[in-house]
Structure 1
Amino acid sequence: MKKHPERPVLITDAARSQDDQLRSRQIRYVSMMSVRALCLILGGVLISAQVPLLPVWLVLCALGMVLLPWMAVLIANDRPPKTKEERAADAAAREDVRRALTPPVEEPDYITIDSEVVDEARRRTD
């Protein structure tokens, strides 16, 4: 029986290294640009082969050649999504900044009149 190598156990909450993130973004970019090159080659082959519905296929190839570079750049420059802990830490930091910039509200001193004391004062004067 063949043993499968076990994947390493994750023992940290640290994010992936910058090199790993860059490498995965580069792979996504190159694969998307390869699809763009395939759209260009496919468009040339379709024109020479005189296939049915040629305008539809050429429009799809042209859309791929125009939209894929734009999408590839956006995806390649995007960072990995934040974890719940990172979002919570960001929210706490924003709350701390908001509290530091907001002046404290002072409560006005309200005058409380005790009716029993007033009644006793009236009895004494009567």
Structure 2
Amino acid sequence: MAHSAMPDDHRTAQVKVLVTKSLKIDEPDWCVGHAGDRAEFKVDITHYGPEHSIEINGITTCRAMLAQSPYSETSSPAPVLYVEDGDITGSYTPDEVEQLADALTETATRLRTLGRNLAEILDGGTA
């Protein structure tokens, strides 16, 4: 009895796999490191400098730090000052409004200093 060719019952599927491996990258002098940092894609890599929490009279007005995303597809690869707003949302009495206004004025002064530090870095110096 002759055997006819049997159809191949073995099925295959193509599956996309995220491969994780280490990537050696240049790091600016001001970066605090990447100890627990995990990026799924190269474009997700961001260098961060030390965080400056600007607190005046017990009010955290903002947090600021140098940041750089050298492989980003949507922003400049140059260092920037990343600023997060602080804990100022709330209801204030007239005296507290004065305190908040003073805190915001001092915050502006400190942000200008951090901006000048950034300008030094962009000009090739170290801040």
TM over 0.5, shorter chain: no
TM-score (norm 2): 0.30
Greater percentage in strand: 2
Greater Rg over alpha carbons, structure: 1
TM-score (norm 1): 0.30
Greater percentage in helix: 1
